Amino acid sequence: MLFFCLSGLLTAELYLRQDATRASIWRFICARFARIFPLFVVVVIGSALIYHFDHRFPFQLGAFAVIKHLFLFGDGLTMWSISVEFQFYAIFVGLWLLCAAVPEKHRTAGFALVCVGLAVALWVAEYPGGKISITHYGQFFLVGILAAIIHWRIPAAGIIGRSANLVLPVLLVALMLWPSHGADPYQSLPLLILAGTVVLAAVAGRGFFAEGTLGSHCMVYLGDVSFGIYLLHRPVIYFWENLIGLQLHWTAMYLIVTATLLAVSHIAHRWIEQPARRIIWNLRQLPHLQQRWRAALNEMLAQPRSFRTMKHAAVREDKLPLPLMSAPSRQVLRRNDTSEIGF
């Protein structure tokens, strides 16, 4: 639930105050797709191959399950939160457009009321839908968005930031120790409020814990590789317990699994996530490059000069140096009528 609240807060912080244009929405879609989908695809396909040979593998993915996951439908059992996350991205685009449609004078307050109304509606409806339905978890995304809106109104420094820094560790401990009593924690209103307060205190806090600890290089790095940690922790445990057959005290197993997981997540981030993001980001710019090439081609075709004349002019302007041309071409050019190229 904290993950969903953080997703709502970060998405709102990064995009909600931008203009909802086609270009900005396309950037948002590409950025979110590049952040999650490449490693997700690798893990899904790799898990299916391993499960085909060893049914002890924790991600039980047959051929049909692979197709469902790749199309982001999921099955409620394996990596189910990815499907919910993409559903939220789709809903966020609609909320973003709605926010942009509200008059600027009342935009923040009006959009906050919309988010509160939607969260209350889900609560009244008792959060309908299955395990991978946005209606079952949407309240946490909405509370994260509300936390971002409140953060915009909090002064950058002062007693609120210092107070948030002091109360944040207490809130985190309370969230981890909250008793569930067998009930669905995602339907608990106190937990919803507590999770929203935690992310708000984390982003608004000023001091050692909020800034010095959560904002340290180590925590930033863990944030970079966090998606790999989430996807790969169960395969790493399977590797040591089932393939290697390692049976040690739980403390030693925890240290070994943690070290292995960090190493594998780093490799996945360095050699899968980052290259895939660069490729997707470059592909995103192809329409703009195609427009520029098309405009340049149209301009070239609209020129009254012949191709031969244009080539000679390019040579004269040092755009096509003579040494780079073939020997026959250089001889033809030197014998050419000097009036045509302005000698």
Query: Per-residue confidence of the chain (343 residues) as pLDDT tens digits?
Result: 788 999 999 999 999 999 999 989 999 999 999 999 999 999 999 999 999 999 999 998 989 989 999 998 887 777 888 989 999 999 999 999 999 998 888 899 999 999 999 999 999 998 888 778 899 999 999 999 999 999 888 765 567 777 777 788 888 888 777 776 667 888 888 889 989 988 888 888 776 666 677 778 888 899 999 999 999 999 999 999 888 877 878 888 899 999 999 999 999 999 999 999 999 888 776 666 566 666 776 777 776 544 444 444 444 444 444 344 444 444 443 444 433 333 3
In a domain, 170, yes or no: yes
Distance CA 12, CA 169 (A): 24
Q: Same domain, yes or no, for 318 and 258?
A: no
Report the number of distinct structural domains present in the chain. 3
Report helix, strand or coil for 214. Answer: coil
Q: Is residue 83 part of a domain?
A: yes
Asked whether residue 194 falls in the same domain as residue 116, the answer is yes
pLDDT at 342: 36
Range of the domain at 33: 2-223
Instruction: Count other Cβ atoms within 10 Å, centred on residue 37.
Output: 16
pLDDT of amino acid 180: 66
- Whose tokens are 């789709």? That residue is 90
Residue type, 66: V
Residue 343 lies in a domain: no
19 and 152 assigned to the same domain: yes
309: tokens are 């004349």
Say how far apart CA 74 and CA 290 lie, in whole Å: 36
Single-letter amino acid, residue 237: I
Tokens found for residue 238: 């399977």
Predicted pLDDT at 339: 37
CB-based burial, 148-167: b 16+ in 10 Å, e otherwise: bbbbeeeeeeeeebeebbeb
* Residues 162 and 256 grouped into a single domain: no
Radius of gyration of the chain (CA): 28
Cα distance between residue 23 and residue 2, in whole Å: 30
Burial of 199 (0-12, 13-18, 19+ CB in 10 A): buried
Q: Same structural domain for residues 272 and 180?
A: no
**CA 255 to CA 183: how far, in whole Å?**
32
- State the number of CA atoms in the 13 A half-sphere of 50 facing the CB: 17
Collapsed DSSP state (helix, strand, coil) of residue 224 = helix
Q: Could you tell me if 60 and 77 are in contact, meaning their C-beta atoms sit under 8 angstroms apart?
A: yes
Q: Are residues 276 and 253 both part of a single domain?
A: yes
Distance CA 125, CA 135 (A): 9
